Structure 1
């Protein structure tokens, strides 16, 4: 099994295998990876003839095999893409198991002129391809490409390419800001980029444009609030809290989010003292590098004792919010004011 970065390097070198299986959470990211092979193997004018796409959720082994066995037209290679190949998932129904078993027997005899590509989507963040026994077996004949989240520099470069493909340049500062604001999913990234490009027209993209078009996530709000607590800017923290409550009048969800954030900072603090690095946090929390770096920087603004006390404050506030007949907004403000009393 290889990750996306290794796969990309191999394709750039021209080391293209006869078969691949892609898996990950981001389908648009997987499709971009597959397009690298297609462009390397098929001339634009023969794309309709030498590229075959098959719906993996509504197919049979015979359909896949027949597509692979057909000779390419006016070219050396043809590419067969079986998208959403759910029969590759660890648990499938009897028909999916049959297709998998037939494919497993067939792939060692793939024609030299065919590149067979199959992909399936992972169920959630906890679903890991290295736990899939089917991949362990079929991976002896086909290359498994795990499309996990990219590291910061690679991620920024790929998002920058999204804008370039759409004929628009974006400054590095604005690019970093865009990446921080948008959800790390290339389907969403491309749609948000389209909105931004249409809005800005011929002029350059500015941070203000990004603020107008891409609303802050609850995670961003929580991070900003904790940052104000760290710098003891409680007046601004109260104003920020009011803005959050205005957007979502759900006190319990907000206090829970703040508590979880402090808990994560506490965990990072402990792990840092035990020698953990950025790469470890990227793996542990399934977050991109720049987000982990921001969390580490924020963690350094607190002592271990402070974070422990802040978590207790949140728990106490949550308990009070569950009581009836209290002013919930006032309790939230008390929480912020009480953070000033937490000593190092």
Structure 2
């Protein structure tokens, strides 16, 4: 098993194999590895004819993949076949229409016989930050090249982030770059690139300062609760439960999390009522004592994802959960999970 940087060095040297399996939690990093292979092998003029992609979760049969691999490339020595979201390579069963066991068995057999004119690539993204390669991936590592796309850190991360600013024609000094990278808790390059875009829009034509970075990205309890309520508004139960587990893992006490969620729903309710009464942002900030325009924008954006009825219901659920936790020996974590699921069903 190699890392993404070893892969890129191998590709630069022209050392390319017939089959690759990518895994990791950073999809952007995985895609960059895939693109390095594709761009090295294929002529851009014939890219569409020689680069075939399949969504692993939508495959009814593995036959189309085999047919694509067996078909000769057009005006090229090589072709590339990609299966993304190949959840069947993980030990836990995914959402594929094919059974994960059957899919994995077919792939395991075929990767030993990929024709020389084809490069077959599979990748799957870990669902959680602490997920690791399972037995299936280690089994494939004995047959083909497996690449683990780990989070990048230190100078590698700073170099990549600096390039994001340069692409946007923006200069960031060394100290400001270090501050920015230190505040990126999750080294997911897709997320970080979005944050770079946000910062560039925020400063506009000005130079980037440490105060700009801290204003936008210094995490507070409010930010954590926003991150929890947001997937609830989008009806993403698994993601919301994941954020809850992260908060507990970081040492936040459940009664405190509950109080902050209740406060957030109350704020959203008041913002929603104000918006329906056609009040502007400045009036809302004054009435609710919100000091930051950015925080107000976030509240307004989040409130639009709920109806007033849903927000009332969410506040009632918080109060009921608080009463249960205080008055009986219930499992606090279970009650919080029920609160989140009920608020989503709301």
Distance 1:22 1:184 in 2: 18
Asked whether 1:209 is paired with 2:212, we answer yes
CA separation of 1:126/1:194 partners in 2, compared to 1, >3 Å: closer, same or farther? closer
Q: CA 1:45–1:220 in structure 2 vs 1: closer, same or farther (change >3 Å)? A: same
Whole-Å separation in 2 of the counterparts to 1:74 and 1:172: 46
Q: Describe how 1:120-135 pairs up with structure 2 within 5 A.
A: 120-129=124-133, 132-135=134-137
In the alignment, which residue of structure 1 is the partner of 2:44? 44
* Residue aligned with 2:112, SS: helix
Partner residue of 1:176?
178
| Structure 2 length-normalised TM | 0.59
1:248-292 deviation digits (Å, cap 9, x = unpaired): x989649xxxxxxxxxxxxxxxxxxxxxxxxxxxxxxxxxxxxxx
Residue in structure 2 matched with residue 104 of structure 1 by the alignment: 108
Q: Which residue of 2 aligns with 1:159?
A: 161
Q: Contact 1:28–1:186 at 8 Å: present in 2 too? A: yes
Deviation per residue, 1:227-247 (Å, 9 max, x gap): xxxxxxxxxxxxxxxxxxxxx
With over 3 angstroms needed to count, the CA separation of the structure-2 counterparts of 1:66 and 1:251, relative to structure 1, is closer
**What is aligned with 1:310?**
none
- Unpaired segments of 5 or more residues in structure 2? 225-251, 258-324, 327-346
1:179-194 pair list within 5 angstroms: 179-182=181-184, 183-194=186-197
Query: Which whole-Å deviations, capped at 9, do the CAs of 1:291-321 have from their partners, x for residues lacking one?
Result: xxxxxxxxxxxxxxxxxxxxxxxxxxxxxxx
The Cα of 1:219 is off from its aligned counterpart by 12
Q: Secondary structure at the match of 1:158?
A: helix
Query: Per-residue deviation at 1:175?
Result: 1.5
Residue of 115, 135, 139 corresponding to 1:137: 139
State the Cα distance separating 1:176 from its structure 2 match.
1.2
Query: How far is 1:121 from its partner?
Result: 1.8
Alignment size in residue pairs: 228
Q: Is this contact kept in 2: 1:42–1:50, CA < 8 A?
A: yes
What residue number does 2:332 align with?
none
Q: CA deviation at 1:2?
A: 1.1
1:189 offset after TM fit, Å?
Answer: 0.6
What CA distance in whole angstroms lies between the structure 1 residues aligned with 2:37 and 2:25? 20
Q: Using the alignment, how far apart are the partners of 1:97 and 1:207 within structure 2?
A: 51
Give 3-state SS (helix, strand or coil) of 1:57's partner. Answer: helix
Shift of residue 218, structure 1, vs aligned partner = 4.9
What is the CA–CA distance in structure 2 between the aligned matches of 1:145 and 1:186, rounded to whole Å?
17
- Return closer, same or farther for 1:213/1:49 CA change in 2, 3 Å cut-off: farther
Distance verdict in 2 for CA 1:165–1:39, change over 3 Å: farther
Tell me the secondary structure at the aligned position of residue 80 of structure 1: strand
What's the secondary structure of 2:57's corresponding residue?
coil
8 Å Cα contact 1:181/1:217 also seen in 2: no
Q: How far apart, in 2, do the equivalents of 1:250 and 1:138 lie?
A: 42
What is the CA–CA distance in structure 1 between the aligned matches of 2:77 and 2:29, rounded to whole Å? 27
The answer (yes or no) to whether the contact 1:22–1:146 under 8 Å persists in 2 is: yes
Counterpart mapping for 1:1-344 below 5 A:
1-59=1-59, 60-92=61-93, 95-129=99-133, 132-182=134-184, 183-218=186-221, 253=256
SS at match of 1:184: coil
SS, match of residue 52 in structure 2: strand
Provide the C-alpha distance between the structure 1 equivalents of 2:202 and 2:131, rounded to a whole number of angstroms: 38
Superposed CA deviations along residues 104-141 of structure 1, whole A, max 9, x for unmatched, are 11111112121111111223244221xx2212222222
Between 58-67 and 93-102, the greater mean CA deviation after superposition: 93-102
Per the alignment, do residues 204 and 39 of structure 1 end up closer, same or farther by CA in structure 2, a change over 3 Å counting?
farther
Counterpart of 1:40 in 2: which secondary structure?
helix
Distance 2:45 2:170 in 1: 26
Q: Identify unmatched segments of 5+ residues in structure 1.
A: 222-248, 255-321, 324-344
- The residue that corresponds to 1:264 in the other structure is none
Q: Give the match's secondary structure for 1:115.
A: strand
